[in-house]
Amino acid sequence: MKKLYSVFTGTGSYVPTKRIGNDYFLDYEFYDSTGEKLETPNDEIMRKFEEITTIAERRYLEDGQVTSDLALIAAERAIEAAGINKEELDYIIFAHNFGETRVDNIRTDMMPTLAARLKEKLNIINPSAVAYDVLFGCPGWIQAVIQADYYIRSGDAKKILVVGADVLSRISDPHDRDSMIYADGAGAVIMEGMESDVPVGVLGHDSRSDAVRNVSMLHMGYSYKPELAEKKSFYLKMNGRRVYQYALENVPKLIKTGLDKLKMHVSEIGKVLIHQANGKMDDAILKRLFKLYNIDEIPESIMPMTISWLGNSSVATVPTLLDMIVRGVMKGYSVHRGDNLVLASVGAGMNINSLVYKMA
């Protein structure tokens, strides 16, 4: 008997063209959380930073662009790949964390919603195409996919655009070493319902939120430079060590829980697409996941990575990674019909989610 499943019928992404290497930060003044200027030479800071994160380069948007501009390009590419009429969309779900960040004003701008702005830029007239935003930290795009899956399987929707876009370069403290992690980007998918007598598309998903004792690991706060802090502007702040420990302890367990619910083994997974947060952290998460199955030998090419050259673009990392693989632009990586994927993310809240997907 055939059942209704949610499948990705089109993917799209936009990677800004402005390349920012680590040497870009050589003339920066860095301070610690107490407001003390760091005495360590910047070239030493750069060396240790790359060693810890694997990030050598990241991408920033141009001065004339805003978040919804990046989302527009990714969305148009996904719509074109799916071959659908944009007026047939039932929902436009836009995951982000910082609203419409601008080059001359870092204040939060979320009204109207970015989904509404994107709908206007796409020139979608249909009033039944409901547009709304999702704020869920870095896992926001996967959470939006989870919502879309429920809409489709309930019969409420047939075609949904799910977008993830963030501009972190404008809300990160230029005097905080952690700011070198962040980047800009956008990714999108079209999701549609497909009837099949075998499981396909979204097979299952799990999420969790650990706010108590963890809510401030990622938060907004004043600049580490005392003179800039006096202006009372908020910047993105992170307790990197605690985030690392939290992710390592909890992400592998959530992924395994999701696989267990589906009675699947990690050996059945062809690719693990994890949020590109920190190269060393993602490697450690994968090793811990396989350790839960008492497996020491991890298959080669199971975890594609873009962090070293694209940086951490928050909600955009997973859909961008997916699009690049689907389009065959990541050398050495490909997906085929019947392949099982795990999509997973961790971020502010603290929130984690994981989704199992079978290529249609």
How does pLDDT run across 150-205, given as a tens digit for each residue? 999 999 999 999 999 999 999 999 999 999 999 999 999 999 999 999 999 999 99
Q: Mind listing the pLDDT tens digit for each residue in 13-34?
A: 999 999 999 999 999 999 999 9
DSSP type of residue 182: B
Pair (266, 232) in one structural domain: yes
- Residue 304: the pLDDT is 96
pLDDT above 90: residue 310: yes
Pair (13, 136) in one structural domain: yes
Q: Binning pLDDT at 50, 70 and 90, where does residue 143 land? A: very high
Q: Domain total for the chain?
A: 2
Provide the edge-to-edge strand list for the sheet that holds 159-167.
Answer: 3-14, 184-196, 159-167, 91-95, 130-134
**pTM of model > 0.85:** yes
**What is the CATH number for 291?**
3.40.47.10
232 Ramachandran zone, left/alpha/beta (phi>0; psi -120 to 50): left
User: In terms of residues, how long is the chain?
Assistant: 360
pLDDT above 90: residue 103: no
Q: Binning pLDDT at 50, 70 and 90, where does residue 322 land? A: very high
Average pLDDT of the chain, as a whole number? 96
Q: What per-residue string of b and e applies to 117-127 under the rule 16 or more CB within 10 Å gives b?
A: bbbeebebeee
Of 169, 196, 223, which one is at a domain's C-terminal end?
196
- Residue 172: the pLDDT is 94
pLDDT above 90: residue 300: no
pLDDT above 90: residue 210: yes
Pair (13, 150) in one structural domain: yes
Pair (164, 300) in one structural domain: no
Of 164, 196, 228, which one is at a domain's C-terminal end?
196
Pair (314, 218) in one structural domain: yes
Q: Which domain holds residue 56?
A: 3-196
What value, to the nearest 5°, has the Cα angle with vertex 220 and ends 214 and 226? 120
101-115, 127-141, 243-257: range with lowest mean pLDDT: 101-115
- Residue 179: the pLDDT is 94
- Residue 28: the pLDDT is 95
Pair (26, 45) in one structural domain: yes
Pair (295, 172) in one structural domain: no
- Residue 8: the pLDDT is 98
By DSSP bridging, strand 351-358 and strand 201-209 are antiparallel
Of 196, 228, 263, which one is at a domain's C-terminal end?
196
Pair (104, 139) in one structural domain: yes
Q: Binning pLDDT at 50, 70 and 90, where does residue 40 land? A: very high
Sequence-ordered list of residues with C-beta below 8 angstroms from that of 272, at least 6 positions apart, any chain: 255, 286, 289, 302, 303, 341, 342, 344
Pair (213, 116) in one structural domain: no
Pair (231, 292) in one structural domain: yes
- Residue 249: the pLDDT is 96
- Residue 104: the pLDDT is 85
Q: How far apart are the first and last CA of the chain?
A: 18
- Residue 185: the pLDDT is 98
- Residue 295: the pLDDT is 96
Pair (81, 17) in one structural domain: yes
Pair (181, 267) in one structural domain: no
- Residue 47: the pLDDT is 94
